[in-house]
Structure 1
Amino acid sequence: MTLLFSLTASTVPVVGSDRLFPVRRVYCVGRNYLDHVREMREGDERDKPFFFQKPPDAVVGDGARVPYPPRTADFEFEGELVVAVGAEGVDVPVERALELVFGYAAGIDLTRRDRQRDCRERQVAWEAGKSFDASAPCGPITPAAAAGDVGAAELRLTVDGAVRQHTRIAHMIWNVAEILAHLSMDYRLMPGDLVYTGTPAGVAALRPGNEVRVDIDGLTPLTVTIAERKNHATH
């Protein structure tokens, strides 16, 4: 039997080599910084982590031109630490969860906030607000051994050079090991999975022409430009 057509997997470059990380799944953690929970005025501050997904082809790389998406008037940025999974894991204890980590990257969870709010009000899934084309920019992946102490790193997101988000990764409610352990209770984690670990306070709307940059200590920065709707994202 032959395939009707072929599909090209999204890939992310690996720092310090010519290797590419093929993307299998994209998981995102909701409400993982206390200041963002309070900013959005939703959820219990003691909630267990919860997850949603984006399609693998939502991943675009550093330098991408991300088209302003259709059917929204409130297109927002969320700067995040991204964890790249390099080993299989199911029901992994917290103490061993970091063994699954291949590396780390800077990322942005782009969100159609008005569509997300509408989904929440109608009590339906968040896909319309979260899972659209080019909604998961991801910078080059730094292998874990070369990334230093990610837990002590600072994250900064700038829009046109102005700082809009600034936090320490240590301020996450659930740290990387805890996130992976919880996620592995519901899903079989596999090499190729990316996990976006949540965003701090400061999220706000974007417009065409904005340049968005995420810096995380020890990792390669990620920069994308918001283009007009008629343009296409490029990898």
Structure 2
Amino acid sequence: MKVTIASALTLAATAQAAVQGFDISHYQPNVDFAAAKASGARFVIIKATEGTSYIDPSFSSHYTGATNAGLIRGGYHFAHPGQTTGAAQADYFLAHGGGWSGDGITLPGMLDLESEGSSGECWGLSASAMVAWIKAFSDRYHSKTGRYPMLYTNPSWWKDCTGNSNAFVSTNPLVLARYSSSPGTIPGGWPYQTIWQNSDSYKYGGDSDIFNGSEDNLRKLATG
């Protein structure tokens, strides 16, 4: 079944269920994936890369552990917008674990969009330049895999750094970061979030993520 972003959003909107997941990096070097699965988690998003020079040292072991536990899994790339091109960073991500295959257990890659330290909140880019950078990453990822990456952001960053752009509504699933009791107002014109990062603490490590739909719909997202 070919799942477009529009159909994925429809699935999410009509679903009455939600699926627990989490995201991790080398800051969580030892994760009991089997225990997470037994507790109800069904997916995990694992840091793979940053920019064009950093590979997360725990990615390979985390990916193997998640796979062996029977979790749906995928990689994410921490974006360094403007430092190198979006296309170059997509290529780096794809070369170091961010690929996708329609096997029903691999999520499309996730582009992590947030500020970092001295780079400034928006990495020195105007809103239009940021949107162009994200589009370049997204288009290169799509050209190589046939899927558009998920976009991770929080409402204030998206508003400040893209001008609350709605350029990705029909293509890219939204992973919304908001640590609250509900997702609240969705930024960027997306009608719904596909995944909600609802807490920065999860029992088995990393952050808590909630897929907006049923487990069957989650598997469809991983199938393409």
* TM-score, normalised with respect to structure 2: 0.27
Greater percentage in helix: 2
Structure that is richer in strand per residue: 1
Report the structure number with the largest CA radius of gyration.
Answer: 1
**TM-score, scaled to structure 1:** 0.26
